[in-house]
Chain A
Amino acid sequence: MPDVKLVGLRKSYGGIKAADGLDLEVKNGEYLCVLGPTGAGKTTLLRMISGLLVPDRGKIFFNGKDFTRMEVEERKAALLSQTYALFPQLTVEENIMFGLDIRGADEKLKEQVLISMLDLVRLSGRSDAYPRELSGGMQQRTALARALASGADLLLLDEPLRALDARLRISLRKEIRSLVKTLKMTAIHVTHDQDEALVMADRVAVIREGRILQIGTPKEVWDEPATPFVANFVGQSNFFTGEVLQSSPFTLLRTPEGTVLKGRSSDLAPGTTAVLGVKIGNTDISKERKGYLKAKVERIIFEGRNLHVDLMIDNGQRISSKVPSWRKGKIAPGDVVDIYWEGSKGTVFPMPPNGLENELKVE
Chain B
Amino acid sequence: MIALATMADPGSFATGPTLIGDWKHGLVDNADLAAPLAFVSILLILLSLVLLVVIKLVIMKVHLPMGRIWPRPEKLFSRGWFPKTKDGLAVLFLVLFVLIPSFFIFTYVVSVEPASFDWGPFMESLMFSFLVAGVVTVIDIALGVPLALYIAKNRTGRLSEVLDVLVNVPLIVPTAALGYSLGVFWTGQNIIPTYDVLLIILAHVAFTYPLVVRNVAGAVEEVDPAFEETARTLGAKPVQAFRRVLYPIIKSSILAGAIMAFTRSLGETGATQAVVASARTAPVYIVELIQLKTASGYYTAGLACIVLIIVSFVFMLALRYITNRRSH
A contact set with B: CB distance below 8 Å: 50-52, 72-73, 75-79, 81, 83, 85, 87-89, 98-99, 101-103, 146-147, 150-152, 156
* A72/B240 in contact, CB under 8 A: no
Q: What is the bound-complex CA distance between A76 and B227, given in angstroms?
A: 17
State the CA gap A99–B226 with chains docked (Å): 16
Q: Which residues of chain A are near B227, meaning CB under 8 Å?
A: 85, 87
A309 → B minimal CB distance (Å):
43
- Interface hits, B220-266 → A, CB 8 Å: 224, 226-227, 229-237, 240, 244-245, 248-249
Q: Are A76 and B229 in contact (CB under 8 A)?
A: no
What residue of chain B has the Cβ atom nearest to residue A155's Cβ?
A: B233
Interface pair A151/B226, CB less than 8 Å apart: no
Main secondary structure of the interface of B (DSSP, over half): helix
CB < 8 Å A-B pair total = 66
Find out whether the CB atom of B233 lies under 8 angstroms from the CB atom of A50. Answer: yes
In the complex the two chains form, is B229's CB within 8 Å of A98's CB? no
Q: Which of chain A's residues have a CB closer than 8 A to the CB of B248?
A: 87, 89
Which residue numbers of B lie inside 8 Å of A, CB to CB?
Answer: 224, 226-227, 229-237, 240, 244-245, 248-249
- Indicate if the CB atoms of B235 and A76 lie closer than 8 Å: yes
Give Cα distance in the complex from A89 to B232, angstroms.
Answer: 17
For the complex formed, measure the closest distance between the CB of B255 and the CB atoms of chain A, giving whole angstroms. 15
- In the bound complex, do residue B249 and residue A89 qualify as a contact, i.e. CB atoms below 8 Å apart? yes
Q: Pick the contact of A83: B224, B233, B234, B240 (CB < 8 A).
A: B224
Q: Which residues of A contact B245 (CB under 8 A)?
A: 87
Given known A79-B230, A151-B235, A152-B234, contact A85–B244 (CB-CB < 8 A):
no
- Does the CB pair B232–A73 fall under 8 Å? yes
Contacts of A146 in B (CB 8 A): 234
Q: Which single member of A52, A73, A83 contacts B235 (CB below 8 Å)? A: A73
A-B complex: 3 closest residue pairs judged by Cβ atoms: A79-B233, A85-B226, A72-B232
Assembled-state Cα–Cα distance A85/B229 (Å)? 9
Nearest CB on B from A155, distance (A): 10
Does B230 lie within 8 Å of A81, measured CB to CB? yes
In the complex, which residue of chain B has the Cβ closest to the Cβ of A76? B235
For residue B226, which residues in chain A have a CB less than 8 angstroms away from its CB?
Answer: 81, 83, 85
Tell whether, in the assembled complex, residue B233 and residue A78 are in contact, meaning their CB atoms are under 8 Å apart. Answer: yes
Cα A76 to Cα B236 with chains together (Å): 10
B235: which A residues are within 8 A, CB to CB? 73, 76, 99, 102-103, 150-152
Distance in angstroms between the alpha carbons of A79 and B237 in the assembled complex: 15
**A178 to B233 Cα, complex, angstroms:** 22
With contacts A87-B245, A89-B249, A102-B244 taken as known, whether A73 is within 8 angstroms of B236 at the C-beta atoms is yes
Q: CA–CA, A152 to B237, complex, Å?
A: 15
17 A-B residue pairs with CB within 8 Å: A50-B233, A51-B233, A72-B229, A73-B234, A73-B235, A73-B236, A78-B233, A79-B229, A85-B226, A85-B230, A87-B227, A101-B244, A102-B235, A102-B244, A103-B235, A152-B234, A152-B235
